[in-house]
């Protein structure tokens, strides 16, 4: 099954017969701010976490076998900067790579929270922008929406 949104097809989702889900969006990653291309960190992480929750629900409904590999790849990233604050004023170093292929997470059961699954991947994107890790998580590794 393949589904895409709008006439411009800036995003699509494909569910394969073997349970793989491939989701692509061209709208989420970069926003222009004062002449710089900024990753809107809160929106990017929030929407990714919520979408993974949806995908895990689909995989559970399909009764997919474990382990399940979860991967995140960001393309066209060269020059993007991470918004370290909500408004984009605290921009980071530009990403030097064109593509960020992040290590997979192997899911062994459906008990893991999507935010906990994605945190190491998010941290690596923040690392590429010069930060120690995502500013959207508390000390215990829980995703918190900064204001």
Q: Is the pLDDT of residue 133 over 60?
A: yes
The answer as to whether 139 is a domain residue is no
The answer as to whether 51 is a domain residue is yes
Backbone region of residue 19 per phi and psi (left: phi > 0; alpha: psi in -120 to 50; beta: other values):
left
Contact residues for 65 (Cβ-Cβ < 8 A; gap 6+): 19
Mean pLDDT over residues 82-110, rounded?
A: 84
The predicted structure's pLDDT at residue 1 = 47
The predicted structure's pLDDT at residue 101 = 96
The predicted structure's pLDDT at residue 6 = 54
Q: State which residues form the domain around 69.
A: 29-128
Count: domains in the chain: 1
The answer as to whether 101 is a domain residue is yes
The answer as to whether 82 is a domain residue is yes
The answer as to whether 20 is a domain residue is no
Q: Is the pLDDT of residue 11 over 70?
A: yes
Could you tell me which residues are beta bridge partners of residue 105?
A: 70
The predicted structure's pLDDT at residue 87 = 56
The predicted structure's pLDDT at residue 20 = 79
The answer as to whether 141 is a domain residue is no
On whether the CB atoms of residues 121 and 103 are closer than 8 A, the answer is yes
Strand order in 81-82's β-sheet?
A: 31-33, 36-39, 81-82
The answer as to whether 49 is a domain residue is yes
Q: What is the pTM of this model?
A: 0.87
Mean pLDDT over residues 102-121, rounded?
A: 95
The answer as to whether 22 is a domain residue is no
């Amino acid at each position: 099954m393949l589904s895409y949104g709008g006439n411009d097809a800036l995003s699509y989702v494909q569910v394969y017969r073997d349970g793989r889900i491939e989701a692509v969006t061209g709208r989420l990653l970069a926003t222009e701010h004062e002449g710089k291309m900024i990753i809107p960190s809160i929106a990017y992480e929030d929407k990714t976490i919520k979408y993974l929750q949806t995908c895990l629900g689909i995989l559970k409904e399909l009764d997919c076998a474990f382990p399940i590999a979860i991967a995140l790849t960001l393309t066209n990233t060269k020059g993007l900067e991470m918004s370290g604050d909500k408004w984009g004023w605290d921009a980071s170093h530009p990403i030097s790579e064109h593509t960020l292929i992040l290590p997979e997470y192997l899911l062994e059961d459906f008990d893991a929270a999507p935010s906990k699954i994605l945190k190491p991947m998010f941290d690596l994107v923040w690392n590429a922008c010069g930060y120690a890790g995502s500013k959207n998580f508390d000390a215990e590794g829980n995703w918190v929406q900064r204001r």
